[in-house]
Amino acid sequence: MEQYKRLLDFNKTWAAEQLGVDESYFEVLAKDQKPDFLWIGCADSRVPAEDLTGSRPGEMFVHRNVANLVVHTDMNMLSVLQYAVEVLHVKHILVVGHYQCGGVRAAMTNNDFGLINKWLCNIKDVYDKHEAELEAIAEHGSRFDRLVELNVVEQVKNLSKTDIVQRAWKKNQPLHLHGWVYGMHDGILKPIIDMPPGTQVTGIYKYQFE
């Protein structure tokens, strides 16, 4: 059997099972979505957002890219962010990285990977910003793990620098930013950074709204 056919066969079985439990399952699901969470995660196939958190369809809005980046020129991510915050009114945004991330590993080298070099440069910027801390870690695996964590920290901070998030906080929306790292070795999500509703953004990144 072709591999893709296995996916279609499983889908039919899954759909039938849902109807067996609740005849109105898809009727209800089709009406609307009201997720409380926006997950910004890595595109890695080993990190399925719903499975890791026990979330059901409709409970989590998901955006994924290589190495879970929040890039200020990424219109795809920004469009997802704006829709999630301003239309869906999510209460939590989760930036979720994972140890053994291939994107972070690649960014730690001086190798030329072609087009993706431009994307990985965002992670290299994180390394450069925290170079003293990272270079002080002698063991490569530990340094790799720490860069994964620091990358999550910086992506959450990038979220707080957007006018979308700051405008929501200005309007007193209960929008909470979280940074987590998933452990491939134990399956556990580790909280790394937390920005509760109303967190004050200072300096040049702070927007003044009328």
- Residues with a known catalytic role: 42, 44, 46, 98, 101
Beta strands (DSSP E) in 67-144 are 92-98
Distance CA 166, CA 177 (A): 12
Token digits for 140? 């490569």
Q: Residue 114, by phi and psi: left (phi above 0), alpha (psi -120 to 50) or beta? A: left
Q: Find the DSSP H helices in 83-129.
A: 102-107, 117-129
Nearest C-alpha neighbor of 106 from the set 86, 87, 76, 127 = 127
Pairing of strands 92-98, 37-42: parallel
Classify residue 78 as exposed, middle or buried by CB count within 10 Å of its CB (0-12, 13-18, 19+).
Answer: middle
* Termini Cα distance of the chain: 61
Does residue 41 sit in helix, strand or coil? strand
